[in-house]
Chain A
Amino acid sequence: MKEYAYFPGCSLEQIGLSYNQSSVETTKVLGVELKELEDWNCCGATTYFHVDELLAYTLCARNLAMAEKDSLDLVAPCSACYKNSYFTNKHLREDPDLADHINYALEEDDLSYSGQIEVKHLMEVFYCDVGLDEIRDKVKKPLEGLKVAPYYGCQILRPKKDDEDVEQAEFFEELMSAIGAEPVPYPLKLKCCGGSLLISNRIAALSMVRNLLQNAEDNNADVIATACPMCQVNLECYQPQVNQEFGTKFQVPVVYFTQLMGLALGIRGKKLGIGKEIVAATPLEPYTT
């Protein structure tokens, strides 16, 4: 059984509760153990970088150090937590002065970090570590006929890491096909949802959400699947605001990819947090029983 240090992040405690539930349930079935970091702290989302990058690295390093203490790679289901942890890891490995300084701060919590672990997004664990074949083998109820718009968003892919293809990603589609669902073409799949602008520039964020919903509807998607709690909340919970602002009538269910995987693996909908939606996930009904 493969074990990881699990860093759920602040959003998964409440707003993204069903992402947390479905991540824990699906990994269990696939023989992956997520051991939650014992006293994890916020990754800082995007705002620490507005004030002090060294502070941003320090806070992410605290989580990395706790995972390293257990000799486990760190897994984050939230794209923002993932991106911040991943790049903190990279910078600390490449810049000894920075690492020395951050370690000086970590001493206050009896921790240290030496760059020994890897940081992964939860989707990467499914796609690379578990693998599509293994997933196909474990599928009990393929989601036949369900049209899914695979929404990548930003920070799962960007900034660019090593030789990754940041313009032509297909792993989300492949994962959806592996559980029997039908990924529809979704040309805006890499466009930002505006999550970080929701408070600072509401109208810009709402218009970005509108474009994504429209694009999913134009391609006859039954649901949009996301791999980030910020994207999910922004795309789902702000549909009433989008409709009011732009005179549209969107009712597009937005679910986590782990919820879809869970259904296909035969887990009951309730255990995956299905039912907590503001836009009811009715297209999933045939698969939840």
Chain B
Amino acid sequence: MTEGKKLLIIDDDPDFVEGILAILEPAGYDVETAYNPKDGFDALESKHYDLLLLDIMMGRGAEGVMIARKMRKDPKLRQIPVLIITGIREQIAYLFPGGPVHPHFVDVDELVEKPVEPELLLDRVSALIEASEERKAEGS
């Protein structure tokens, strides 16, 4: 089920990425990493992925939102399911005390907040890939 599925993580936090890899790789996923938004988008444009795991706060600011929006405008990239994993509330919470992460700020498939439980992560990743494959099957 997970064999041969190719994932991309765009996240600037090497420790967090290491943790995610330790969950996804043993489960059989082939995971590639990009540590800044530019390398991340270049990878998306040059290779095929079954799912994108995307951070929000990177580089100049909330660049994850920029990437997600740009993908949704691209006929090819818009097919890729996007799972946002963010620590934004922790990172700049003082700006909006008690405010929730805006659920509809951009059209992504799902958003979870760091830290993320391994079971939850594996569950979301496989559910999102499955749903996207069903969509593709229906479309063809």
Contacts and interface: CB of A to CB of B under 8 A. Distances in A.
A54 B62 CA distance: 7
B127 interface: no
A104 B69 CA distance: 10
Nearest to A58: B61
Name which of B60, B62, B63, B65 has the most chain A CB atoms within 10 A of its CB: B60
Query: What is the predominant secondary structure among interface residues of chain A facing chain B?
Result: helix
A128 interface: no
Contacts of A100: 69-70
B1 interface: no
B92 interface: yes
Interface of A: 51-55, 97-98, 100-101, 104
B27 interface: no
What bracket does the count of chain B residues touching chain A fall in? 10 to 19
A101 B62 CA distance: 11
B95 interface: yes
B92 A52 contact: yes
Nearest to B37: A97
B66 interface: yes
B69 A53 contact: no
9 contacts: A51-B61, A52-B57, A52-B60, A52-B62, A52-B92, A54-B61, A100-B70, A101-B69, A104-B69
- Closest 10 interchain pairs by CB? A52-B61, A53-B60, A54-B61, A101-B66, A53-B61, A54-B60, A54-B62, A55-B61, A52-B62, A51-B92
